[in-house]
Chains A and B, each alone.
Chain A
Amino acid sequence: MQQLQQDIIVVGGGGAGLRAAIAAAEANPKLQVALLSKVYPMRSHTVAAEGGAAAVTLTEDSLAAHFQDTVSGSDWLAEQDVAAYFVKHAYQELVQLERWGCPWSRKADGSVQVRRFGGMKTERTWFAADRTGFHILHTLFQTSLRYPSIHRFDEYFVLDLLVVEQRIAGVLAIQFSTGQLVQIRAKAVILATGGAGRVFHYNTNGGIVTGDGMALAYRHGVALRDMEFVQYHPTGLPGSGILITEACRGEGGILLNKDGYRYLQDYGLGPETPVGQPKNKYMELGPRDKLSQAFWQQQQLGLTGDYQGHAVVYLDLRHLGKAHLASRLPFICELANAYVNIDPASQPIPIRPAVHYTMGGILTDINCQTSISGLFAVGECASVGLHGANRLGSNSLSELLVFGKVAGEQAAAQAEQANIAPFSAVAGQCQRQQSYISSLFADSCSDSSVAIRTELTLAMEQGCGIYRDNAGMQLCLNRLQALKDRFQQLKVTDNSNLFNSALLQHLELGFGLDVAETICRSALARTESRGAHQRLDQGMTTRNDTDFLQHSLALRQQDGSAAISWQPVTITSLPPAARHYGSQASGSPGNDTTGSSQ
């Protein structure tokens, strides 16, 4: 087993990990920063974010307004101190990206252009056409090349965190290309491993989004917070789930049912706005949870259309015209053409909700610090507390920049004063992992990781979907338990050392099963409806602040199952109120632009 030492290890080379690595390198160039990723950094799933990144930009906008939109969008489950910090620092982070070369779309005078986004009362979403995540990721990756203290470990897969007496000591990883185990000891570790959308069957996520970091932390006793809140993006392509950005609606796209009716007006988002005149927080610019729920309601009423066996509604962009589509939504045109053979300038795009984002994740404080000293988490794998029960589109790209910087600086501060754990302290743990990996191989196995994974994703889709009920979730939980039992017997039949994807898929499946269970158990425990968690059970169909103005915490038990406990929400300036969109929004606290939250 190879042994290495670094000061800081960043696990994950997406937007959050790269931003953290750069921040650490800038904070102290003497610190050696290892950037480990199971893929080359520019393959990370940040690359697929399309629409944009939010920050208060226009003079008529205010930090208080962005704060209120975020808190109201979260159905009051956001940590308000975190939301306040976020809105205050988002602008400077987007400017920093600009200074590093990000090709933001511009107005005629050369200033940065902002677009409308769902649940935001003012235009504040910066964008680079409809490839914003791609450009952010590549800008960060290319910028990271300037820092000699950042050492990349491309295609290294982390098997375990090394923890000594509740203090992080490093990671144990496997080098994909050789199959060699590598122990890297360090003074601080940042998890930036992304979400877990791949535990659902229909999702917008890349194949790599398997919840690894969440499970790594969870297995060491760190709580996963708010895991029941899984975002269905309202507009994925049928079947594949490929993302069709919310920016389509920001630019004026409309949603139609099979009869050509703009059904959102029936779900508290109206009145209907004129075609070609999108209005913030109305109709198609409502938040994602409400829009995905409206799809489900239409499906129950038999008002959805059919696309090759998939229930769909239609995203109509025709009125935007070819030229506007080419300049603002070129990637969407490319995707629609390639994957559903449709030219959006002449035909509506069939779409349906698909799992997109895990609002919950590894519990951290506002400094991205977890309950293990020196272990930080940031980005989609983390729950710093910004998104609560529903994330607003374009808040997550800004989040990974704002809190990526925080995590990098905090880790640097930690590394400056901590010591490297001695080899003897982690040797036993490494030995156990090595034995475990060796025990996974066999010449044959009657089961397969593909079979278990498929059943896992279908169980989650059926039991923990847009609307949930007790019976469905109990069934899901039983299925998960049976799958976990099967997983215990599962073997890897490819015994090659080099690039063993079968082994990695096996390990990812184990991570996914753990994460799925926390989602299901947290959802069962929350006997109310809030944000992206909607229950059909009697007495649970509305928000219940008396009992559930609280975060769920999933903690791993001795027997490997998750126990759920509760944590109060930090409320600083915006007391819970009804969440209104459309015409109901006028005058509600969530729509109040006066006063200051800072």
Chain B
Amino acid sequence: MNKSISIARYHPEQDNQPRLQAYQVQSDHSTSVLDALLQVQQQDPSLGFRWSCRMAICGSCGVMVNGIPKLGCKTFLRDYPDELTVSALAHFAVEKDLIVDMQPFLQHLNAVKPYLINSEQSAEPHRQTPAQLAKYQQFANCINCGLCYSACPQFGLNPEFLGPAAITLAQRYNLDSRDQGKAARMPQLNGKNGVWSCTFVGFCSDVCPKKVDPAAAINQGKVASAGDFIISMFKS
């Protein structure tokens, strides 16, 4: 069947601001928003959006669907019987149509030292029990799609806020039994753009397509940060 879809178009070489444009696409029970965008691109090759895996693991195709951050490939037209409007992810600078500037996101990831810090050398693997793995496993499933940043009112107000994914990644390593880098990460988490900027709206976890639950990671980060603070008081 035919379905109407509105897309927020923005070509900085021509437009002063995004404008909505309506398209007709063919839709059946399995048509995703990404499928619809690919159809539109056949009508108008100038439509800009990112995509690749179309199986909700590469994290490329985040967009706002009726104002809610979604992965295009895992959102289906069947769930939108009425209006359907697709626009670029909120809180990021729109570069062209549905393409946003991901650099701030990457800089925030980078800022938390998102890698295992452990100076021991060995030719054999660490031991890590399933229980130890379970402590951070969920937080390791973040696909860096950025939906949580579009959902986060604090990031919208303060782009310097590390944001849900970066804090989650910091927690992922802090909670890893193999890691010794927590002390190196805590200054970022404790800082003015760290965990305390979060007002615990929780929308980040609602929109996460991989059930990573960044809000839980941030909350745990607050507990760790508070502990850090108390310890530092005793030390000083």
List the interface of chain A (C-beta within 8 A of B): 39-40, 42-45, 47-48, 92, 94-95, 98-101, 103-112, 131, 134-135, 138, 142-143, 145-146, 154, 177, 206-208, 239-240, 242-243, 308, 331, 334-335, 338-339, 448-450, 492-494, 496-499, 501-502, 505
Asked whether any CB of chain A lies closer than 8 Å to the CB of B190, the reply is: no
B179 to A111, Cβ gap below 8 A?
Answer: no
Query: Which of B17-25, B138-146, B147-155, B156-164 sits within the interface?
Result: B138-146
- A-B CB contact pairs (8 Å), 18 listed: A43-B50, A43-B53, A43-B58, A45-B52, A95-B123, A99-B118, A99-B125, A101-B179, A105-B133, A110-B126, A110-B129, A142-B115, A206-B54, A207-B52, A497-B13, A498-B11, A498-B96, A501-B45
B11 to A146, Cβ gap below 8 A?
Answer: no
**Count class of interface residues, chain B:** 35 or more
A338 to B74, Cβ gap below 8 A?
Answer: yes
A42 to B59, Cβ gap below 8 A?
Answer: yes
In the complex, chain A residues whose CB is within 8 Å of the CB of B97: 499
A450's nearest neighbour on chain B, judged by CB, is: B42
Given contacts A95-B124, A95-B125, A103-B133, is CB(A207)–CB(B115) below 8 Å?
no
Given contacts A99-B122, A145-B110, A177-B95, is CB(A498)–CB(B42) below 8 Å?
no
Partner of A131, one of B11, B57, B110: B57
In the complex, chain B residues whose CB is within 8 Å of the CB of A505: 45
In the complex, chain A residues whose CB is within 8 Å of the CB of B96: 496, 498-499
In the complex, chain A residues whose CB is within 8 Å of the CB of B109: 142, 145
Q: How far is the CB of B183 from chain A (nearest CB, A)?
A: 17
In the complex, chain B residues whose CB is within 8 Å of the CB of A47: 53, 57-59, 143
In the complex, chain A residues whose CB is within 8 Å of the CB of B179: 101
Per-residue A-contact encoding for B83-114, CB less than 8 Å = 1, 0 else: 00000000000011101001000100110001
Asked whether any CB of chain A lies closer than 8 Å to the CB of B176, the reply is: yes
A43 to B46, Cβ gap below 8 A?
Answer: no
B97's nearest neighbour on chain A, judged by CB, is: A499
Q: How far is the CB of A37 from chain B (nearest CB, A)?
A: 11
B133 to A143, Cβ gap below 8 A?
Answer: no
Given contacts A493-B45, A494-B45, A502-B46, is CB(A39)–CB(B60) below 8 Å?
yes
In the complex, chain A residues whose CB is within 8 Å of the CB of B115: 100-101, 142-143, 145-146
Roughly how many angstroms separate A99 CA and B96 CA in the complex, as a whole number? 40
B169's nearest neighbour on chain A, judged by CB, is: A142
In the complex, chain B residues whose CB is within 8 Å of the CB of A45: 52-53, 58
In the complex, chain B residues whose CB is within 8 Å of the CB of A499: 48, 95-97, 99
Q: How far is the CB of A247 from chain B (nearest CB, A)?
A: 15
Roughly how many angstroms separate A112 CA and B178 CA in the complex, as a whole number? 14
B42 to A135, Cβ gap below 8 A?
Answer: no
B11 to A98, Cβ gap below 8 A?
Answer: no
In the complex, chain B residues whose CB is within 8 Å of the CB of A208: 52
Total inter-chain residue pairs, C-beta < 8 Å = 155
In the complex, chain B residues whose CB is within 8 Å of the CB of A48: 53, 55, 57-58
Given contacts A43-B60, A101-B115, is CB(A239)–CB(B30) below 8 Å?
yes
A498 to B95, Cβ gap below 8 A?
Answer: yes
Q: How far is the CB of A55 from chain B (nearest CB, A)?
A: 11
In the complex, chain A residues whose CB is within 8 Å of the CB of B49: 501
Partner of A40, one of B47, B106, B133: B106
In the complex, chain A residues whose CB is within 8 Å of the CB of B53: 43, 45, 47-48, 206-207
In the complex, chain B residues whose CB is within 8 Å of the CB of A103: 133, 136-137, 140, 176
B45, B97, B141 pick with most chain A CB within 10 angstroms? B45
List the interface of chain B (C-beta within 8 A of A): 11-13, 30, 41-42, 45-60, 74, 95-97, 99, 102, 106, 109-110, 114-116, 118, 122-130, 132-133, 136-137, 140-141, 143-144, 169, 173, 176, 178-179
Given contacts A99-B118, A208-B52, A497-B13, is CB(A108)–CB(B46) below 8 Å?
no
In the complex, chain A residues whose CB is within 8 Å of the CB of B124: 95
Partner of B52, one of A39, A95, A105, A143: A39
Roughly how many angstroms separate A107 CA and B128 CA in the complex, as a whole number? 9
Q: How far is the CB of A540 from chain B (nearest CB, A)?
A: 36
In the complex, chain A residues whose CB is within 8 Å of the CB of B102: 40
In the complex, chain B residues whose CB is within 8 Å of the CB of A112: 125
Interchain residue pairs A-B with the least CB separation, the first 7: A101-B116, A110-B127, A206-B52, A502-B45, A494-B46, A98-B125, A206-B53
Roughly how many angstroms separate A242 CA and B141 CA in the complex, as a whole number? 19
Q: How far is the CB of A45 from chain B (nearest CB, A)?
A: 7
Roughly how many angstroms separate A101 CA and B174 CA in the complex, as a whole number? 11
Given contacts A95-B124, A339-B30, is CB(A206)–CB(B58) below 8 Å?
yes
B53's nearest neighbour on chain A, judged by CB, is: A206
Q: How far is the CB of A53 from chain B (nearest CB, A)?
A: 13
Roughly how many angstroms separate A583 CA and B177 CA in the complex, as a whole number? 44
A334 to B56, Cβ gap below 8 A?
Answer: yes
A242 to B116, Cβ gap below 8 A?
Answer: no
B126 to A501, Cβ gap below 8 A?
Answer: no
B13 to A496, Cβ gap below 8 A?
Answer: yes
B44's nearest neighbour on chain A, judged by CB, is: A494
In the complex, chain B residues whose CB is within 8 Å of the CB of A134: 57, 141, 143
Roughly how many angstroms separate A521 CA and B228 CA in the complex, as a whole number? 66
A206, A335, A499 pick with most chain B CB within 10 angstroms? A499
In the complex, chain B residues whose CB is within 8 Å of the CB of A498: 11-13, 95-96
B12's nearest neighbour on chain A, judged by CB, is: A498
Roughly how many angstroms separate A109 CA and B128 CA in the complex, as a whole number? 8
Roughly how many angstroms separate A494 CA and B126 CA in the complex, as a whole number? 53
Given contacts A43-B59, A101-B179, A143-B115, is CB(A108)–CB(B130) below 8 Å?
yes
A445's nearest neighbour on chain B, judged by CB, is: B45
Roughly how many angstroms separate A334 CA and B110 CA in the complex, as a whole number? 29
Roughly how many angstroms separate A174 CA and B127 CA in the complex, as a whole number? 45
B142's nearest neighbour on chain A, judged by CB, is: A138
In the complex, chain B residues whose CB is within 8 Å of the CB of A40: 60, 102, 106, 144
Q: A43-B53, A142-B115 are in contact. List 9 more A-B contacts (CB 8 A).
A: A42-B59, A92-B123, A109-B127, A207-B52, A240-B30, A240-B54, A308-B30, A492-B45, A498-B95
Given contacts A39-B60, A134-B143, A143-B115, is CB(A111)–CB(B127) below 8 Å?
yes
A205's nearest neighbour on chain B, judged by CB, is: B53
B55's nearest neighbour on chain A, judged by CB, is: A242
B96's nearest neighbour on chain A, judged by CB, is: A499
In the complex, chain B residues whose CB is within 8 Å of the CB of A502: 45-46
